[in-house]
Amino acid sequence: MLLTELNPILQPAGKQHTSGDFSADELALANRNSGTLLETLQNDITPTGAHYLLNHFDIPYVADSTDWTLSLQGLFDNPVSLSLTDLQALPVISRTVTLECAGNGRRHVTPRWPSQPWSVEAVGTAQWTGTSLRNVLQCAGIKSTCKELIFHGTDRGVDGGEVHNFARSLTPDNALHDHVMLAWQMNGIDLPPQHGYPLRLIVPGWYGMASVKWLSQIEAIDHHFNGYQQVKTYVYRESESDIGTPVTHMRVKSLMVPPGIPDWSSRKRLVGPGTMTLQGRAWSGAGVPIQRVEVGIDDVWHDATLQQGDSAYGWCGWQFDWLATRGKHTVCCRATDANHQTQPLAPPWDTAGFGNNAIHRVEVWCDDF
List binders of its own copies among 330-359 (CB under 8 A): none
- Residue type at 61? Y
C-alpha 46/C-alpha 321 separation (Å) is 23
Cβ atoms of 181 and 137 closer than 8 Å: no
Min CB(172)–its own copies separation in Å: 29
Cβ-contact 335, 284 below 8 angstroms: yes
When computed from its CA atoms, the radius of gyration of the chain, rounded to whole angstroms, is: 21
Distance CA 144, CA 149 (A): 12
**Binding to its own copies by residue 143, rule CB under 8 A?**
no
Q: Is 49 in the site for its own copies (CB under 8 A)?
A: yes
Among 71, 111, 145, 261, binds its own copies (CB under 8 A): 261
| Site map 94..113 versus its own copies, x via CB under 8 A | -------------x------
- 361 belongs to the binding site for its own copies (CB under 8 A): no
| Cis-peptide, bond into residue 198, ω within 30° of zero | yes
Piece of the chain touching its own copies by CB under 8 A; list 22-30, 173-181, 245-253, 349-357: 22-30
Indicate the residue among 223 and 369 with the shorter CB distance to its own copies: 369
Can you tell me which of 193, 287, 289, 348 binds its own copies, judged by CB under 8 A?
A: 193
Q: What angle do CA 358, 364, 369 make, to 5 degrees?
A: 165
Relative to beta strand 274-283, strand 316-324 is antiparallel
Is 20 a binding residue for its own copies by CB under 8 A? The answer is: yes
Torsion of CA 28, 209, 150, 204, to 10 degrees: -160
Q: Could you tell me which residues are beta bridge partners of residue 72?
A: 218
Query: Could you give the CA distance from residue 58 to residue 104 in angstroms, rounded to a whole number?
Result: 20
Q: Is 88 in the site for its own copies (CB under 8 A)?
A: no
For its own copies, the binding residue among 17, 22, 86, 90 (CB under 8 A) is: 22
DSSP state of 159: E
Report the site for its own copies in 273-312 (rule: CB under 8 A). none
Task: Tell me which residue of 296, 298, 300 sits closest to 280, measured CA to CA.
Answer: 296
The footprint of its own copies on residues 199-238 (CB under 8 A) is none
Answer for which of 86, 88, 93, 365 binds its own copies (CB under 8 A) is 365
Min CB(287)–its own copies separation in Å: 28
Shortest distance (Å) from residue 257 CB to its own copies: 9
Decide: is 119 part of the binding site for its own copies (CB under 8 A).
yes
Q: Which of the ranges 44-52, 91-99, 167-175, 237-245 carries the binding residues for its own copies, by CB under 8 A?
A: 44-52
- Does 368 engage in binding with its own copies (CB under 8 A)? yes
Least spacing, CB of residue 194 vs its own copies, in Å: 5
Residue 47 or residue 178: which is nearer to its own copies going by CB? Answer: 47
Residue 289: CB minimum distance to its own copies, A: 26
Report residue 367 CA to chain centroid gap.
Answer: 37
Closest CA to 335 of 262, 280, 298: 280
